[in-house]
Amino acid sequence: MSIRKQGQCVCGAVSYTVIAQPKRITICHCKWCQRRTGSGFGVEVVFDKSHVQINDDAVTRYRHISDESGRWLDQHFCSHCGSNIGFTLEAVPGIRTLAAGTFDDQTWLSSDKVERKYVYTSSAQDWADIPDNVDRYEKHFR
């Protein structure tokens, strides 16, 4: 089945098209995701890199080294408006994530269509509720 779904940052300088279903959605409550999003958790739509066509002239990357693993994670954001676009990581070279909120159409990401995993629930804030009956992991599933 052929898919073409689009998204962009707030100002539109960064835009992308994905051409396949995501592998999953990872909802991450780790401290790094809390800081980089300025929110309770990151909502990452995980793709095979080859399925993402991104106009990334306006993308800036910030390289963070994990305290836990010592490996890098590159945060991608728009140089103009600062919107979080997603990230790539040394630990899993074949994938890139796109921030769920940047997609134009959210309906195809519903839980009956795409698997969701809740990770690093051990560091979740008490104001960031995690639903019952979901796939949840104290740390990661890798």
Binding string, residues 11-40; x marks residues near Zn ion by CB under 5 A: x-x--------------x-x--x-------
Instruction: Kindly tell me the burial class for residue 117, based on how many C-beta atoms sit within 10 Å of its own C-beta (0-12, 13-18, 19 or more).
Output: middle
| For Zn ion, the closer CB: 80 or 117 | 80
| For Zn ion, the closer CB: 20 or 81 | 81
| For Zn ion, the closer CB: 112 or 138 | 138
CA dist 91 and 142 (Å) reads: 10
| 13's tokens | 């300088």
Q: How many residues lie near Zn ion (CB under 5 A)?
A: 9
Q: What minimum distance in Å lies between the beta carbon of 133 and Zn ion? A: 22
Nearest of 5, 3, 1, 4 to residue 102 by alpha carbon: 5
| For Zn ion, the closer CB: 112 or 126 | 126
Nearest of 83, 61, 82 to residue 73 by alpha carbon: 61
**Residue 45 interacts with Zn ion (CB under 5 A): yes or no:** no
Instruction: Kindly identify the residues of this chain, within the stretch 58-97, that bind Zn ion according to CB under 5 A.
Output: 78, 80-81
Q: What minimum distance in Å lies between the beta carbon of 69 and Zn ion? A: 12
Task: Tell me the three-class secondary structure of 1-48, residue by residue.
Answer: CCCCEEEECCCCCCEEEECCCCCEEEEECCHHHHHHHCCCCEEEEEEE
Tell me which residues touch Zn ion (CB under 5 A).
9, 11, 13, 28, 30, 33, 78, 80-81
